[in-house]
Structure 1
Amino acid sequence: MKIFSRSNIFILVHFFCWLILTLGVLYSHPADWGDNVPREFYIRQNVLLIILIIVFYLNYNLLIPYLLIKKTVVWYILVVLAIVAGCAYLTNIINEVFDLNRMPFPHPHGGPNRHHINTFVPGMIVLIIGLGITVSFIQKWQQEVILRQQLEQEKITTELTLLKAQINPHFFFNTLNTIYSYTLSDGDVARTAITNLSKMMRYVLYDAAGKQTPLSKEIAFIKEYVELMKLRISKKTSLLLQVQEQPKEMLVAPMIFLPFIENAFKHGVSGVNEGHITIQIIQDDNSVELLVNNTVYETRSAGEDKSNGIGITNTTRRLELLYPGKYKLQTGLNSKNEYEAKLKLLI
């Protein structure tokens, strides 16, 4: 149970506001009375306080939500005027009962002010109604802000789920294509590839199901993927994977690096020409950076290029949602006509 929940804070704020108002009402007698304040004055002030409380919560819980907020402003004004007039009339009756109208109150110029009480009560009623309107509209505004935030969060969560749902089949489709090619030529290699794929599937289905995963598991997944991709590259393609043997424990979004590594194997491998793929993962205290560099071969079909673009596009959108203002992404060809991808996450 939260001690400082929204409802508890709401109750405490109301309690202390009424406590302050109570002290103000009870001790608002003329200074020249000193300690000789008649008992009737305190009775009358307590009755006034009860009236103020009733008016406040009547206005706050009924009049504002059912009249003012529902755009029946004219009716609201008429009811408020009736309440002010009724409270002023009721106060006069109370003053007559306790004989307070005949008690002299100090006047700024020294003379008696017999209308002090009569003008004080309507002013307090108007003040209380104004406070009720202010508090009600502030709460309504806060509720709308919270609702918008919840809807935005739900939208983001739904979008991320859809993006991950698109990335995972895309990843398995590419991997299964690689394994299929070996089932026709080398059964032993295909069996090894299936074993590696089963480990990767376990990560995707369980570890990558949440919003974040330990970097060490993400790196282990990348290593498995690279081992699997080694099966499809020839000796003409040099491959370098550099990661820390014992990475610092930090949490990252699952499979956030994979599309850039996938892209390197799709466009950086040729069975005829020499090429290279370099993958580096660098850490410091509050960031992790992926560097991918590969030779580019323009030998892909339009369908393959479109399929590959899904992963990069979805990952870019995931970065915008998960790391707003906390990531740097650079992709493109360098001066050597090699493709480079640099992704830095601030953790």
Structure 2
Amino acid sequence: MIKIQKVINSKWIQHPVFWVLSIYAIGNYFAISSLLKFIDFFYALLFHIPLVFLVYVNLLLLVPYLLKKGKYYLYIPAAALLLLATYGIHELTFELLLPALPTEYYMVSFTDWEVLVSIFTIYLVLSTLLTLSKSWYKLQQVEKEKLSIELNSLKSQVNPHFLFNSLNSIYSLALSRSEQTADTVLELSNLLRYMLYEVSEEKVELAKEVEMLENYIELQKLRADDSTQVTFEVKGALDEVKIAPLLFFPLIENAFKHGVKGVSDSGFIKISLEVDRHISFSISNNKGIIDDMEQGKYGGIGLENVRRRLELIYPAKHELDIHDSEQIFEVKLTLK
């Protein structure tokens, strides 16, 4: 499929196809009867001598060196001169070249100059638009690839710290020979499988994302004190709703990382997800002791990750509200 697309996009295919169609169209336009004859195509071929000159001077000189560089004040007069030169070549073709050809046909350019200039202008505009649209398409493809690379990079930021912390927690469980060890390893395995293989699509099923969030929270709770209260409430129908994958994970990691450490009293993390006309996600936690390295950077990379992904995937279709008080940190995210 990719090879076929490359062949179709090749200029060695596109240009001959364009000119064959053009000769057929011009032949039809100037046909002397309803049935196309050899003389009609012969006339169309001669008519294309100035057209080929017009199109390729425009494509190879005027568009790349004037139009694409923003020199519109030069492109317009240059295009006018090109049309004039094309008209001159047309006259020379039928006044000098045609009589010199060993042919039994007698033909003249019986087209009014207004019609000729109109046809030349159409080819000038058409060749310009096709070139610009192709450049725009290539630019869109490059931007799409850059976007995909950036999104994949942002997704990969979710994994390393979480994996390291989870393995440390599982190691502690194994040392104490806890009965939770096997179940915890299974939860981690399912979550890693999801992160590695099931989030390659731009959107995933919200029900599956919620299931993985629950596993993620259970693993994160291994880092928290037993007195920490963690709640996750889900409201609304999740069926047939899709969302960008791993969007909420950095927010949850942020709450566990910053909110439950160094607290003298019981800590808390409250998470809620509601699906109605919009998808509403909120998470709040008490603020633990922030060390010098984190001073003034509460939220850190996690929040920047979420902000950037929202800008890329949900431009003008999201609301992100952050409330940072002395004791509580809260994030509310609405996806329209």
Is TM more than 0.5 here? yes
Percent identity between the aligned chains?
Answer: 29
**More deviation in 237-246 or 288-297?**
237-246
After the TM superposition, which residues 31-110 of structure 1 pair with which residues of structure 2 at under 5 Å, given as runs?
A: 49-60=44-55, 62-69=56-63, 80=86, 82-87=88-93, 89=95
Larger CA Rg, structure 1 vs 2:
1
After the TM superposition, which residues 1-347 of structure 1 pair with which residues of structure 2 at under 5 Å, given as runs?
A: 22-23=28-29, 49-60=44-55, 62-69=56-63, 80=86, 82-87=88-93, 89=95, 120-185=111-176, 187-244=178-235, 247-270=238-261, 272-285=264-277, 287-300=278-291, 302=293, 309-333=300-324, 337-346=327-336
- Determine helix, strand or coil for the equivalent of 1:208: coil
CA shift, 1:182, in A, is: 3.8
CA shift, 1:208, in A, is: 2.0
CA shift, 1:281, in A, is: 0.7
CA shift, 1:160, in A, is: 1.0
CA shift, 1:76, in A, is: 5.9
CA shift, 1:118, in A, is: 7.3
- Determine helix, strand or coil for the equivalent of 1:241: strand
Q: Is the 8 A contact 1:267 1:300 kept in 2?
A: no
Q: Is the 8 A contact 1:87 1:122 kept in 2?
A: no
CA shift, 1:55, in A, is: 3.3
- Counterpart of 1:80, as a letter, is T
Q: Quote the Cα distance in structure 2 between the aligned partners of 1:323 and 1:129.
A: 45
Equivalenced residue count is: 308
Q: 1:226-283: CA deviations, max 9, x gaps? A: 2223333334322221114862222211111111111122223256312321111100
- Counterpart of 2:199, as a letter, is A
Q: Structure 1 residues 51 and 327, CA, compared in 2 at 3 Å: closer, same or farther?
A: same
Specify the alignment match of 1:35 in structure 2.
none
Q: CA RMSD in A?
A: 4.2
**More deviation in 168-177 or 256-265?**
168-177
Q: Quote the Cα distance in structure 2 between the aligned partners of 1:198 and 1:71.
A: 57
Q: Is the 8 A contact 1:259 1:315 kept in 2?
A: yes
Q: Structure 1 residues 99 and 322, CA, compared in 2 at 3 Å: closer, same or farther?
A: closer
Structure 2: give runs of 5+ residues left out of the alignment.
2-7, 67-77
Q: Quote the Cα distance in structure 2 between the aligned partners of 1:177 and 1:304.
A: 26
Q: Is the 8 A contact 1:264 1:277 kept in 2?
A: yes
**More deviation in 270-279 or 134-143?**
270-279
CA shift, 1:88, in A, is: 5.3
CA shift, 1:344, in A, is: 1.5
Q: Is the 8 A contact 2:59 2:128 kept in 1?
A: no
Q: 1:274-294: CA deviations, max 9, x gaps? A: 232111110024x31211111
- Counterpart of 1:86, as a letter, is L
Q: Is the 8 A contact 2:205 2:243 kept in 1?
A: yes
- Determine helix, strand or coil for the equivalent of 1:231: helix
Q: 1:123-169: CA deviations, max 9, x gaps? A: 44433332221111111111111111111111111111111122221
Q: Quote the Cα distance in structure 1 between the aligned partners of 2:298 and 2:291.
A: 11
Structure 1: give runs of 5+ residues left out of the alignment.
28-41, 101-116
- Counterpart of 1:55, as a letter, is P
Q: Quote the Cα distance in structure 1 between the aligned partners of 2:85 and 2:29.
A: 29
Q: Quote the Cα distance in structure 2 between the aligned partners of 1:292 and 1:160.
A: 23
CA shift, 1:213, in A, is: 1.6
Q: Structure 1 residues 228 and 49, CA, compared in 2 at 3 Å: closer, same or farther?
A: closer
Q: 1:169-190: CA deviations, max 9, x gaps? A: 1321333343344445454344
- Counterpart of 1:141, as a letter, is L
CA shift, 1:322, in A, is: 1.2
Q: Structure 1 residues 226 and 166, CA, compared in 2 at 3 Å: closer, same or farther?
A: closer
Q: Is the 8 A contact 2:284 2:331 kept in 1?
A: yes
